[in-house]
Amino acid sequence: MQKIIPCLWFDKNAEEAVNFYLSIFPDAEICQISHYGNVGQDQHGMPAGTVMTIEFKLNGQRFTALNGGPVFQFNAAVSLQVYCKTQEEIDYYWDHLSKDGDESAQVCGWLKDKYGLSWQIVPEILNEWIQDRDRSKSDRVMAALLKMKKLDLSALEKAWKE
């Protein structure tokens, strides 16, 4: 069993959000759904029978989505990284996850989806380029990256190879 499972706190739309994510990631599934009962209604305020948690997987990674009410909101301090092999893969995840999201949050490969969750859509090779021992190479990659919203793999590679 996976020891660390991120719990994503939604107001009341966890089921809608999970179905959105399942429609984007090819290897995705719902594992289990739990519902609120009568106990604790004075604390959580959710009607009995309302979905409480949804355990789901995206590419083998387990997550829990919680309908927790309007107590907490997502912020960019925590993001989910999607590593991509090709520009086509970057385009696919960027286009789908950013649909109806916060366009002002799109910077350096980061985006916010329509539920407020932050994602980083990045090439698998990026860390290798940024950590290159040749500081001039890594600096060129960073300079190119800082000018982008959606990352352009060929432009980053060109900056690294110059």
Tally of structural domains, the chain: 2
Which among 142, 146, 147, 110 is positioned nearest to 129, based on CA atoms? 142
pLDDT digits (tens, 9 = 90+) for 15-68: 999 999 999 999 999 999 999 999 988 888 899 999 999 999 999 999 999 999
The answer to whether the CB of 54 falls within 8 A of the CB of 15 is yes
Residues 58 and 121 in one domain: no
Residues 107 and 36 in one domain: no
CA distance from start to end of the chain:
45
Q: Give residue 159's pLDDT band: very low, low, confident or very high (50, 70, 90).
A: very high
pLDDT digits (tens, 9 = 90+) for 117-151: 999 999 999 999 999 999 999 999 999 999 999 99
pLDDT value of residue 74 = 96
β-bridge mates for residue 51, sequence order: 35
**107 backbone dihedrals φ, ψ, rounded to 5°:** -160, 135
Domain boundary among 47, 67, 87: 67
Number of Cβ within a 10 Å radius of residue 146: 9
CATH number for the domain harbouring residue 138: 3.10.180.10
pTM of this prediction? 0.94
